[in-house]
Amino acid sequence: MRRREVPESAAAPAAASGGGCAVEGCDGSPQRSQPRSRVAEALPELALEGGRRVKLCREHYRAFRRASRETRRLDRMGG
Protein backbone atom coordinates (compact mmCIF):
# COMPACT_ATOMS: atom_id res chain seq x y z
CA MET A 1 0.00 0.00 0.00
CA ARG A 2 1.34 3.38 -0.95
CA ARG A 3 1.51 6.08 1.63
CA ARG A 4 0.09 9.49 0.99
CA GLU A 5 2.48 12.39 1.35
CA VAL A 6 1.26 15.10 3.69
CA PRO A 7 2.25 18.61 2.64
CA GLU A 8 3.90 20.81 5.24
CA SER A 9 1.05 23.30 4.98
CA ALA A 10 -1.29 20.68 6.50
CA ALA A 11 0.66 20.82 9.77
CA ALA A 12 0.54 24.63 9.89
CA PRO A 13 -3.02 25.04 11.31
CA ALA A 14 -2.04 23.30 14.55
CA ALA A 15 0.93 25.60 15.00
CA ALA A 16 -1.12 28.67 14.12
CA SER A 17 -3.66 27.95 16.85
CA GLY A 18 -1.06 28.17 19.61
CA GLY A 19 -0.02 24.54 19.27
CA GLY A 20 3.43 24.92 20.82
CA CYS A 21 4.69 23.96 24.24
CA ALA A 22 2.74 25.73 27.02
CA VAL A 23 5.89 26.76 28.91
CA GLU A 24 6.66 30.45 28.35
CA GLY A 25 9.74 30.90 26.20
CA CYS A 26 9.71 27.33 24.84
CA ASP A 27 8.90 26.81 21.17
CA GLY A 28 9.15 23.02 21.12
CA SER A 29 6.49 20.96 19.43
CA PRO A 30 4.01 19.47 21.91
CA GLN A 31 4.19 15.74 22.61
CA ARG A 32 1.74 15.26 25.48
CA SER A 33 -1.09 17.11 27.15
CA GLN A 34 -1.48 17.12 30.93
CA PRO A 35 -3.83 18.81 33.41
CA ARG A 36 -2.52 22.22 34.44
CA SER A 37 -3.00 21.44 38.15
CA ARG A 38 -0.74 18.37 38.04
CA VAL A 39 1.99 20.16 36.10
CA ALA A 40 1.87 23.19 38.41
CA GLU A 41 2.04 20.91 41.46
CA ALA A 42 5.03 18.96 40.14
CA LEU A 43 6.91 21.90 38.59
CA PRO A 44 5.89 25.13 40.34
CA GLU A 45 8.86 27.03 38.87
CA LEU A 46 7.45 26.85 35.32
CA ALA A 47 5.41 29.74 33.94
CA LEU A 48 2.54 28.07 32.06
CA GLU A 49 0.32 29.47 29.33
CA GLY A 50 -3.04 28.08 28.26
CA GLY A 51 -6.21 26.76 29.83
CA ARG A 52 -7.13 23.73 31.88
CA ARG A 53 -4.82 21.37 29.99
CA VAL A 54 -1.30 22.28 28.95
CA LYS A 55 0.73 20.84 26.10
CA LEU A 56 4.32 19.94 26.90
CA CYS A 57 7.27 19.35 24.60
CA ARG A 58 9.40 16.26 25.09
CA GLU A 59 11.93 18.02 27.33
CA HIS A 60 9.32 19.52 29.68
CA TYR A 61 7.24 16.32 29.69
CA ARG A 62 10.29 14.36 30.85
CA ALA A 63 10.91 16.92 33.60
CA PHE A 64 7.25 16.58 34.63
CA ARG A 65 7.52 12.78 34.74
CA ARG A 66 10.64 12.93 36.91
CA ALA A 67 9.14 15.47 39.29
CA SER A 68 5.82 13.64 39.68
CA ARG A 69 7.20 10.11 39.97
CA GLU A 70 6.40 9.67 43.66
CA THR A 71 2.90 11.14 43.35
CA ARG A 72 2.08 8.84 40.44
CA ARG A 73 3.36 5.84 42.38
CA LEU A 74 1.14 6.68 45.33
CA ASP A 75 -1.85 7.18 43.01
CA ARG A 76 -1.35 3.70 41.57
CA MET A 77 -1.23 2.23 45.08
CA GLY A 78 -4.47 3.95 46.00
CA GLY A 79 -3.13 6.28 48.62
Q: Is the pLDDT of residue 40 over 70?
A: yes
Q: Would 54 be classed as within a structural domain? A: yes
Q: What is the pLDDT of residue 14?
A: 45
Average pLDDT over residues 12-24: 67
Q: Would 7 be classed as within a structural domain? A: no
Q: Would 1 be classed as within a structural domain? A: no
Q: Would 6 be classed as within a structural domain? A: no
Angstrom distance (rounded) from CA 69 to CA 66: 5
Q: Is the pLDDT of residue 3 over 50?
A: yes
36, 54 Cβ separation under 8 angstroms: yes
60, 23 Cβ separation under 8 angstroms: yes
Q: Would 48 be classed as within a structural domain? A: yes
Q: Would 2 be classed as within a structural domain? A: no
Number of domains in the chain: 1
Q: Would 52 be classed as within a structural domain? A: yes
CB within 8 A of 57, min separation 6: which ones? 20, 21, 23, 26, 28, 29, 30, 31
Q: What is the pLDDT of residue 11?
A: 47
Q: Is the pLDDT of residue 8 over 70?
A: no
Q: Would 49 be classed as within a structural domain? A: yes
Q: Residue 37: which domain range? A: 19-77
The CA dihedral of 68, 15, 25, 67, to the nearest 10 degrees, is: 10
Average pLDDT over residues 20-30: 93
